[in-house]
Structure 1
Amino acid sequence: MRKIINHWLKWTVLSDNRSDDSRLSTEHGLSIFLQTTNEREQYDACINIAERGGVRRSQTVRHKILLDTGASDVFIRNAEQLSIDLSDVDYVFISHGHSDHAGGLRYFLEHNQKAQVIVSPDAMSGKFFSKRGNLHSITTEWPEIDEDRLVLIDQTCEILEDLHAIAHIPQINPMPKGNRNLYVQDADGNYIHDDFRHELALYVDGLLFTGCAHSGLENILSACPWPVHSVVGGFHLLDGQETDDEIKALAQRLKAKYSETQFYTSHCTGDKVFEVMKDVMGEQLQSFRCGTIIA
């Protein structure tokens, strides 16, 4: 008799703002390699438990997914240092249209000839700008993508079993105040505040990838109808526009409502914000950086 006990997830950070490994490069960007595997326990009633142990384990790789591609080819160079073969990736997921998350896609497609690209059509068509400092473009220069490799997502849906995209996230709770510095250029050349309809979250067998969580971490969690054991991504709180009291209140709500969920963050969360949240959430909140491996 064969029984599936759980799906094993392993993820490795390939691009982030920081690294503790001198071999790895950094950038203002985010890219994570995620591998899912079936871990099965096999029970054979005909085997003498005392002699054979009664349990054999076998693992079958289910998916290899690249979560965002950072701003450049940093994720590729770091993957090589970590002996990760990106040519085997089955899916590349782009969380939103900003260049620090999708700028590396052109380099990925040069290394991988088969992966499907999961993305919002609004991410590909939008012209995005930031007013952090001087007004500047953060629009991704999209490479040519074969139509049969493109998976355009405009609503929450199942892509495969245990692989779901969450789209058009309802803005019930406040969005990060740092979004006030982020704009979309309309057809008339006017700059309007980004509503982040181009942002997606990805749910993979209990893990929720938030990208930058521009839509608001609480909103993304509320929009996810499936049980979440891990949240991975940025919280977009690094601009310092939220007060310490607001950050503490957010951490308290997360701790109370999602007590069984582990949170992993870096990139656009901010060091000060992380420390304030860490004081409230303790071991429930962890940071990551280039080279971090969680399994």
Structure 2
Amino acid sequence: MCLSSGGYQELSEASPRQAAGEAVDPIALEPVDEVRVTTLVDNVYDALLIGDDRTSRTSFGVARAAAAQFEGGSTAVGLVAEHGFSALVTVRRGSTTTTLLFDTGMSPTAMVTNAERLGLDLSGIQGVVLSHGHFDHAGGLAGLVGKKGARSLPMVVHPEIWTRRRLAVPGLEPEEMPTLSKRALDGEGFTVIERRQPSLLVEGCVLITGEVDRTTEFERGAPPIHQAWSGQEWRHDPLIVDDQALVVHVRGRGLVVVTGCGHAGVINIVRHAQRLTRVPSLHALLGGMHLNGPAFEPIIDDTALELVAMAPDLVVAGHCTGWRAQHALAAALPAAWTAGSSGSTFHLTAA
């Protein structure tokens, strides 16, 4: 969920703190030979984007739909874009290939519709990871239910993902967000795995960060309009502690970091992944970076400067990054920045 109200002064009241729980440091993240990240859902679908040697795009005509006003009774259709994020992450190490679903978009239909139009069989995924509990990352679970194999899928989440949250914009009636139900997911047969600490999946080839250390001076979290229910009252929820990312180490290249919204701060997230894995190089950063709106636009320049110092080879800033941050990142990292879009696949291989 993206937040655009509130000021930076209010935002800065949330001071950094270390993640709770025992530190797991370092983590032996096994390097992989290949990783493919396919964006199933993003805020944008651009059928005119051009691919390159590492990026595949989806153009018009990926599927057809009935339309009586055209000769032949049908027309070409593209993909669905909505305020949400979902990606398929496929890793290959040697002859072993595994695909995970990272987030599921906002609506029950967008993710599965796009997967069908792309010819991707979601019954082949071997696990689900939710970056956090906001509904624009978990809504597509409803569409996944009923797919072959879904009932036995493991699902990795942070234990605070069930937190009730709302937006309390001054002058407006507070609006409570849809809250994930653990009972419902258990009832659908998902094997829900709750972890605050980092998790290694796919025989040690995929890291789920768990709760992220907040170490930067400028990434301070959500403004006061973002609130959580404590059990007794609504309180400012700046940290959104359930925010976590997916990390892969591409052999000879460095880390590939996939974020949902990046509520922990994308620089915090990358630093956290580097600390856990002791892999210093950032090869690629993909996903939402939450730099949209007046509460977050003041930290765009700091974020861009830190990313320039990290020198990634690929930056795909999608979902809640915002157009101002997109422009700033494209200017700061012209060789690395690549536009995101529903249906894009980013193919990264070992050196």
TM-score w.r.t. structure 1 length? 0.83
- Partners of 1:71 and 1:215 lie apart in 2 by 20
1:140 counterpart residue number: 179
2:156 counterpart residue number: 118
User: For the Cα contact (< 8 Å) 1:178–1:239, is it kept in 2?
Assistant: no
Higher relative contact order (CA 8 A, sep 6+): 2
User: For the Cα contact (< 8 Å) 1:185–1:192, is it kept in 2?
Assistant: no
Indicate the percent of aligned positions where both proteins have the same amino acid.
23
* Matched residue type, 1:141: L
The alignment partner of 1:254 has SS state of helix
Following superposition, the deviation at residue 250 of structure 1 comes to 2.0
Following superposition, the deviation at residue 140 of structure 1 comes to 3.1
Q: Which runs of 5+ in 1 are unaligned?
A: 41-59
Q: CA, structure 1 residues 102+208, in 2 after alignment: closer, same or farther (shift >3 Å)?
A: same
The alignment partner of 2:334 has SS state of helix
User: For the Cα contact (< 8 Å) 1:18–1:27, is it kept in 2?
Assistant: yes
CA distances 1:110-150 after superposition (whole Å, capped 9, x unpaired): 212332111111102x0011246753222333333267712
The alignment partner of 1:285 has SS state of coil
Instruction: Name the count of aligned residue pairs.
Output: 268
2:335 counterpart residue number: 283
User: For the Cα contact (< 8 Å) 2:151–2:190, is it kept in 1?
Assistant: no
The alignment partner of 1:222 has SS state of helix
The alignment partner of 1:283 has SS state of coil
- Partners of 1:181 and 1:61 lie apart in 2 by 46
The alignment partner of 2:330 has SS state of helix
Q: CA, structure 1 residues 17+176, in 2 after alignment: closer, same or farther (shift >3 Å)?
A: farther
CA distances 1:58-94 after superposition (whole Å, capped 9, x unpaired): xx34211111011122000100000000011101110
* Matched residue type, 1:89: I
Q: CA, structure 1 residues 154+177, in 2 after alignment: closer, same or farther (shift >3 Å)?
A: closer
The alignment partner of 1:110 has SS state of coil
2:39 counterpart residue number: 13
User: For the Cα contact (< 8 Å) 2:222–2:238, is it kept in 1?
Assistant: no
Aligned partner (choices 41, 60, 75) of residue 111 of structure 2? 75
Q: Does residue 238 in structure 1 map to residue 282 in structure 2?
A: no
1:154 counterpart residue number: 196
- Partners of 1:148 and 1:85 lie apart in 2 by 18
Q: CA, structure 1 residues 137+61, in 2 after alignment: closer, same or farther (shift >3 Å)?
A: farther
- Partners of 2:315 and 2:224 lie apart in 1 by 25
Aligned pairs for 1:267-282 within 5 A: 267-282=319-334
* Matched residue type, 2:213: P
Aligned partner (choices 96, 99, 109) of residue 135 of structure 2? 99
- Partners of 1:134 and 1:204 lie apart in 2 by 42
The alignment partner of 2:151 has SS state of coil
The alignment partner of 2:123 has SS state of helix
Aligned partner (choices 304, 322, 331) of residue 251 of structure 1? 304
Q: Which runs of 5+ in 2 are unaligned?
A: 1-30, 48-76, 250-254
Following superposition, the deviation at residue 171 of structure 1 comes to 1.4
